[in-house]
Amino acid sequence: MFKAVLRGLAAASLNVLPLTVPAPAYAAETLPLTEAVADLPLGTESRDGYDRDAFRHWNADANPSDGCNTRAEVLISEAVEPPTVGPNCRLTGGRWWSYYEQVWVTSASGLDIDHMVPLAESWDSGASAWTAQRREAYANDQGAVVSLVAVTARSNRSKADQDPAQGLPPAADVHCRYVAEWVATKLRWSLTADEAEAASLRDVAAGCPDQTVTYEPVT
């Protein structure tokens, strides 16, 4: 009888103990831009083997039933005046502010979704060693508002694969913001910076004493 009671207690205890230990949460961190730049790991970039198709995008995101892919989701979330969302996530109307050159856009077809750190640059900076699943997550990252940016097709294609050492947005007033978002994305995804890139980031950061960087690392 006594042994039966012990077995019952042991079974009951198993029902209340967690079966797995949850992974530690990574809290968002905010720090001055100059410190964030200093936190970037330095590395030598290489584009060997790069293929844009290695980054699957745009995917159906977390809610495939709504018919909206990542591109459409970003357009909807960044609209200053919301568009009408029709069948198959067709967007009509709406108004957007393309901050790279500071112009208004009134047609979704006139916008590109820019990867703040371009896919090729991410490959150079560490993504070449990632799994296909992690590259897809990067290419469709809506977990941070700065990772994907709705801008004019012209400005996105002018930027191409350049890093801040090679070019900055045409509107000088947004350089502090742009560099902060670039650094936040690299820190979020543990991407490196080469020497020329880091030097350019430091130069811009020196003129942005009030700019902060907020990022949450991807596990």
Per-residue pLDDT of the chain (219 residues; tens, 9 = 90+): 434 433 443 444 434 333 333 344 468 999 999 999 999 999 999 999 999 999 999 999 767 778 899 999 999 999 999 999 999 999 999 999 999 999 999 999 999 999 999 999 999 999 999 999 999 999 999 999 999 999 999 999 999 999 999 999 999 999 999 999 999 999 999 999 999 999 999 999 999 999 999 999 998
| C-alpha distance from residue 43 to each of 49, 50, 88, 125, 195 (Å) | 17, 17, 43, 7, 8
Tokens of 111: 């916008």
Q: What is the dihedral of CA 117, 122, 125, 126, to 10 degrees?
A: 140
